[in-house]
Structure 1
């Protein structure tokens, strides 16, 4: 009678109890929410600083309407990401983090050579679901074997919830009132953003790099324990790693050739398709299922982020014309 439930539990949650996985999913979803809210605050401030008063008023009213209309969709996205991040196992999360870290290093090196920040800005938008996987993977690694892991993860989830609420409140305030308050100088929040809002993106990049550095350590340990500790495993993984590195270079070149959302979604399909083939080769069926869940997670993260992608492309066009 209970066999199907144990089978489902075995497929979805392999290395932790459901409560811990749920708290890790909340932390990951909160991290994604903070990232998106602060990027939207930065983009709105930059747009207001480059526009006239009339344009700012129109943007303020339209952004206010977007915030009001999008409240239920934001909640739906948050809880969907929480569930999906809770279901993705640590094995697949670790591979996703390591693959994305490799591509991030490649993009950073290319951006430095080309003196162009577009690649890094786009990478920050693409890192949403991977950032959630990195947070949940790092928390799972740090709390592995801890006697009170559920309590610690609950406290981490509560702190993450508070940070996400503050960032959402800041974005709502900026979208509605920043053009007015930045000119009248009556609001402490808007005055602070007017003076130091241009540093938000750089601070976000440093925070994301720190999270991925910690997640890469945890992911390396997880991958070694689950994939590389077997006898003769390196002989099998070495050619796979080389092939994957070549794919990363191809993705990088393809993204430079194709602008906009087309390149972004094409990159996601290539990345996760390659990971799916890898799991069909060296993983088990639960890993394959987790990769398919990752497809859903990437879609839930990127589809509502078209405004962020549009802002990056507009900034690139403005910089080119200037």
Structure 2
């Protein structure tokens, strides 16, 4: 009787449904959102500690992010839902696209600006990092009978790390200028002596994360192909077009390092993925890429303090290098 009445109820299209158990999807999204939160808070700590050595930009990042408590909480839950909704196939494409973009950025960046482009790349990789956790967890727990238990443990550990990093940032923002000068707090003294090691630590952690995610992404995408010919038909235009596109966009960003150029790059590269999915993908992939636009906006718009600090750090480094060159020239003339 129930089946008779349920036959009259319209069912949702397959591209509206989630790939796995909704609980697993939400837990995966929660882990990804926690990873993004850890990255942003540690970057804020690093930039704030670095800014203490520059008198004219001492409180920039503190002032710009002093009102961001509610925004960061709203961003966290929005990213949890978005990352839980995005399918593993599109998340894998985002991960591979970021890996290609990172390699291209390191190859095309001038030798004297490698550190600057690295800092900007860390700010840009937020949503890609969430997708990396998404596709890695999907790959590791695929067809596991009790995957939700492992995902629940991962979500709990991620929540703990995210909360500790958030507490660290709020403590540094409020007390570091006092504690670092009066030698009062062990945390602030540790940051004063070893704060510069945060950036290399983040780079090492991201390299490991995206290396695992790349393997999971390639495996996840290849499962959707029935033959090698079909896989080559998908990978060939993706690799060629995106290599050319990313090199061009990286050159433009090096010429005009600004937040507007970054947003334009997001629109172009996700638009390229959208066109690709309209050609060789499925309707579910198209819908998920449209959701990725919201995810990128949810990551970058609240992170304007990080973007401004990163671009200002680039300008400060460039100004100091120009002054150093001029001083060397003057010294040669005097000699």
- Give the TM-score normalised by the residue count of structure 2: 0.88
Contact 1:135–1:215 (8 Å) recurs in 2? yes
The answer for the alignment partner of 1:183 in structure 2 is 181
The answer for the alignment partner of 2:108 in structure 1 is 110
Contact 2:108–2:247 (8 Å) recurs in 1? no
Contact 1:111–1:120 (8 Å) recurs in 2? no
Query: Separation in 2 of the partners of 1:65 and 1:99?
Result: 30
* Unpaired segments ≥5 residues, structure 2: 1-5, 321-335
- How far is 1:258 from its partner? 2.3
The answer for the alignment partner of 2:227 in structure 1 is 230
1:271-294: CA deviation from partner (whole Å, max 9, x where unpaired): 100000011011111110000000
Contact 2:222–2:231 (8 Å) recurs in 1? no
The more displaced of 13-22 and 262-271 is 13-22
Residues 111, 202 of structure 1: alpha-carbon distance in 2 compared, 3 angstrom cutoff: farther
Contact 2:105–2:247 (8 Å) recurs in 1? no
* Unpaired segments ≥5 residues, structure 1: none
State how 1:256-267 maps to structure 2 within 5 Å.
Answer: 256-267=254-265
**Would you say 1:7 and 2:12 are equivalent positions?**
yes
Contact 2:96–2:214 (8 Å) recurs in 1? yes
- Give the TM-score normalised by the residue count of structure 1: 0.92
1:228-260: CA deviation from partner (whole Å, max 9, x where unpaired): 433621452323421222112112122222221
Aligned length: 314
1:65-96: CA deviation from partner (whole Å, max 9, x where unpaired): 944x3222111000000000001000100011
> Over aligned residue pairs, what C-alpha RMSD do you find?
2.1
Say which one has the larger Rg. 2
Contact 1:64–1:172 (8 Å) recurs in 2? no
The answer for the alignment partner of 1:207 in structure 2 is 205
**Would you say 1:280 and 2:278 are equivalent positions?**
yes
Query: Separation in 1 of the partners of 2:127 and 2:238?
Result: 24
The answer for the alignment partner of 1:196 in structure 2 is 194
Query: Separation in 2 of the partners of 1:231 and 1:65?
Result: 51
Contact 1:174–1:190 (8 Å) recurs in 2? yes
SS in 2 for 1:7: coil
- How far is 1:111 from its partner? 3.4
Match 2:40 to one of 21, 25, 36: 36
Residues 49, 225 of structure 1: alpha-carbon distance in 2 compared, 3 angstrom cutoff: same
Contact 2:106–2:114 (8 Å) recurs in 1? no
SS in 2 for 1:252: helix
Query: Separation in 2 of the partners of 1:282 and 1:211?
Result: 28
SS in 2 for 1:49: coil
The answer for the alignment partner of 2:54 in structure 1 is 50
Query: Separation in 2 of the partners of 1:20 and 1:2?
Result: 28
The answer for the alignment partner of 1:172 in structure 2 is 170
Query: Separation in 2 of the partners of 1:244 and 1:65?
Result: 35
Contact 1:87–1:290 (8 Å) recurs in 2? yes
Contact 1:13–1:89 (8 Å) recurs in 2? no
Contact 1:37–1:171 (8 Å) recurs in 2? yes
Residues 65, 315 of structure 1: alpha-carbon distance in 2 compared, 3 angstrom cutoff: closer
SS in 1 for 2:20: coil
SS in 1 for 2:192: helix
